[in-house]
Structure 1
Amino acid sequence: MFRYSTKEDAVSDCIEGLLTQSEIDEILIVDNNSTDGTASIIQEFAQKYGTVRYVFEARQGVAHARNAGFDASTGNIISRIDADTRVQPGWARAVKAFLPLRIAICSNPPLQTWRSENAHG
């Protein structure tokens, strides 16, 4: 998930990088009142790729945009980046591999893969 307000020049590269990550099931892009042509770029990606979803949040600000993205997400693992972020090959795989090694402190229901030996590692 990522938010933007005016990032027309950066958003395509960001999405294209995310699309190369086979471990990603859903890409949410939150439009936080953009004033450029970014919304149409996102909508083109959404029409072409089923994993890309456009979300509009009228209330300006990063907290509102992130909350809108979290609310719209259907995934079990949510990662947040910015529109000018360029993920490297293997990024999503690394995120997924890292998570089972940590306790999900704010998880409801609790993470089922947690084991006591992972509590300090």
Structure 2
Amino acid sequence: MTGGPTVSIVIPAYNEERTIRACVVAALEQTVPADEIIVVNNKSTDSTAKMLKALKTEFPDAPLVIVDQNDEQGITPTRNAGFNAATSEVLGRIDADSILEPEWVAEVKRIFSDPTVGAATGPMIYYDMPLRRFGARADDNMRRALLKLTKEYHFVFGSNMAIRASAWRDIRDHVCNDADIEMHEDLDLGIHLFDRGHKIVYGSKMVSGMSARRLDANPMDYLRYVMRWEKTYDRHNIFNPALRAPMVVFSAIYPLGKLMRQQHLKSLKGGGVGPSAWAG
């Protein structure tokens, strides 16, 4: 597919020297190229900036843009800076450990060819877990089921989402800029999209890979992460019990998921990408 709207991919990054190269290369190696790939470096103290400079040299003809966001520490202001810097009609948003499937941009263009779509999200492949393709099908089924439960306030998943630029301009003065503190910034984004009347859709073929490194957290830290769902809805005075279903699901999968990941990393003799510097 060569038609459809233009697409920028925004990648917030903070101390991601272990993942940023694979993330950017996957974004570059799409069957249908992105019009722009924006990496927003947020005060990294490791080799992230050096690696981004090397990527610019390695791919001189690529539409790779490096933006420094030094005003505030956090994924929310860094995401916002990337969205504001982007020039395309659709703004993709992934994490610095996301590995896009080759058809991702093509699928985003297809989805947003429908002018009624304001935002979209899709399933994940956990590339540092065993049984990856089986896990991808399970993830897809889980997310589709959760969206059926939530008749309103459909969520967008920050590791794999896209938003129409006009929708972003409509909500950017309304999103919670302190979402990093106790909330999920992507969940907050979805709430403001819904409140402003923008349609959010789910695309099973809009697939990205991500690390399961969140499972490396101890039980209390993982619980605090999951409870951010509750705190996000509480902040917005939303009390629909169905919207809490993801909390139950993600809490339930933690023991088995952690065991599977530990065994997998053991088999790789300590592989994996480590915890995120932004992990809350």
Shorter-normalised TM-score: what interval? 0.7 to 0.9
Which residue does 1:75 correspond to in 2?
88
Judge which range, 40-49 or 16-25, deviates more: 40-49
The structure, 1 or 2, with the larger RCO (C-alpha pairs under 8 Å, 6+ apart) is 1
Quick one: distance in 1 between partners of 2:33 and 2:68? 25
CA deviations 1:34-87 (Å, max 9, x no partner) are 110010111222233341111000111111101110111111111000000010
Judge which range, 96-105 or 5-14, deviates more: 96-105
TM-score in terms of structure 2 length: 0.37
**Is residue 13 from structure 1 mapped to residue 22 from structure 2 by the alignment?**
yes
Which residue does 2:43 correspond to in 1?
33
CA deviations 1:13-36 (Å, max 9, x no partner) are 011101111330110000011110
Which residue does 2:269 correspond to in 1?
none
Structure 1, unpaired ranges of 5+:
109-118
User: What is the RMSD computed on CA atoms of the aligned residues?
Assistant: 2.1
Determine which structure has more spread, i.e. the larger CA radius of gyration.
2
Whether contact under 8 Å (2:39, 2:65) holds in the other structure is yes
Q: Which runs of 4+ in 1 moved over 6 A?
A: none
TM-score in terms of structure 1 length: 0.81
Quick one: distance in 2 between partners of 1:88 and 1:104? 21
Quick one: distance in 2 between partners of 1:91 and 1:33? 29
Shift of 1:2: 0.6
Whether contact under 8 Å (2:111, 2:117) holds in the other structure is no
Secondary structure of the residue aligned to 2:38 is strand
Structure 2, unpaired ranges of 5+:
1-9, 119-163, 168-198, 202-280
Secondary structure of the residue aligned to 1:101 is coil
Which residue does 1:4 correspond to in 2?
13
**Is residue 51 from structure 1 mapped to residue 63 from structure 2 by the alignment?**
yes
Which residue does 2:228 correspond to in 1?
none
Judge which range, 74-83 or 95-104, deviates more: 95-104
Quick one: distance in 2 between partners of 1:75 and 1:10? 25
Share of identical aligned residues, percent?
Answer: 31
- Pick from 79, 94, 111 the counterpart of residue 98 of structure 1: 111
